[in-house]
Chains A and B, each alone.
Chain A
Amino acid sequence: DAKTTQPPSMDCAEGRAANLPCNHSTISGNEYVYWYRQIHSQGPQYIIHGLKNNETNEMASLIITEDRKSSTLILPHATLRDTAVYYCIVRVLGGKLIFGQGTELSVKP
């Protein structure tokens, strides 16, 4: 079973930052935090991952707390096309991804 807890749904206004929280209180020292999203029934899409430090790429930023028990995915300027289910997943090196229910993000005009 998934080792993360996410709110089932969130709304965000277009152009505003979307902050998606995730709890992973039982994360092990060798587990990474990954974020994927799934738009409609398309294949899941990788967004970002991190171990300890905050990470940023062209899609998003990942903020991981110092104790690593929670993280936040930030979409800095959400667009309508960011409407999707967002999955927070913890994964050991080389391990499989186990998807939970994720957070259904609705970006509204």
Chain B
Amino acid sequence: EPEVTQTPSHQVTQMGQEVILRCVPISNHLYFYWYRQILGQKVEFLVSFYNNEISEKSEIFDDQFSVERPDGSNFTLKIRSTKLEDSAMYFCASNGGRPPGELFFGEGSRLTVL
């Protein structure tokens, strides 16, 4: 069964460093998303991406964050100048675009900022 894959599964970084989280959505899906979940809290929407541009973003997704689809398969989330409060699980999701289609989530990348 097709699945969304994310790398790395766990990344530890120092405060102030930049991190890139990578996602390979399901082939032929058109819509892509990033969500995050701080430990013990709810899953929060960050950004949605369609047709090579951001279609919607939350107030969490400020200038510190950026997304990119550098080639036909990868979808990345870049976090610049990481802060302690960026420590969380980051989930990538994709959607086939055929309404009302479900979102398929990856297993997540755990980011720990020290």
Name the interface residues of A1-41: CB closer than 8 Å to any CB of B: 32, 34, 38, 41
Whether, in the assembled complex, A68 has its beta carbon less than 8 Å from a beta carbon of chain B, the answer is: no
A96–B91 touching, CB < 8 Å: no
A-B pairs with beta carbons under 8 A, tally: 51
Taken residue by residue from 28 to 65, chain B's Cβ proximity to chain A (1 for < 8 Å, 0 otherwise) reads as 00010101010000111100100000001000000000
How far in angstroms is the closest Cβ of chain A from B22? 15
Whether, in the assembled complex, B75 has its beta carbon less than 8 Å from a beta carbon of chain A, the answer is: no
From A32, A38, A96, contact of B33 by CB (8 A)? A96
B100–A41 touching, CB < 8 Å: no
Whether, in the assembled complex, B102 has its beta carbon less than 8 Å from a beta carbon of chain A, the answer is: yes
How far in angstroms is the closest Cβ of chain B from A62? 13
Question: How many residues from B make CB contacts under 8 Å with A?
Answer: 25
Name the interface residues of A25-64: CB closer than 8 Å to any CB of B: 32, 34, 38, 41-46, 49, 51
Chain B residue numbers with a CB within 8 Å of A93 are 99-100
Taken residue by residue from 56 to 77, chain A's Cβ proximity to chain B (1 for < 8 Å, 0 otherwise) reads as 0000000000000000000000
From A41, A49, A99, contact of B102 by CB (8 A)? A49
B108–A96 touching, CB < 8 Å: no
26 example contacts (A-B, Cβ-Cβ < 8 A) are as follows A32-B100, A34-B102, A38-B43, A41-B37, A41-B89, A42-B107, A42-B108, A43-B4, A43-B93, A43-B105, A43-B106, A43-B107, A44-B91, A45-B105, A46-B102, A46-B103, A46-B104, A49-B100, A87-B43, A94-B31, A94-B97, A96-B45, A96-B48, A97-B103, A99-B43, A101-B42
Binding site for A on B (CB under 8 A): 4, 31, 33, 35, 37, 42-45, 48, 56, 89, 91, 93, 97, 99-100, 102-108, 110
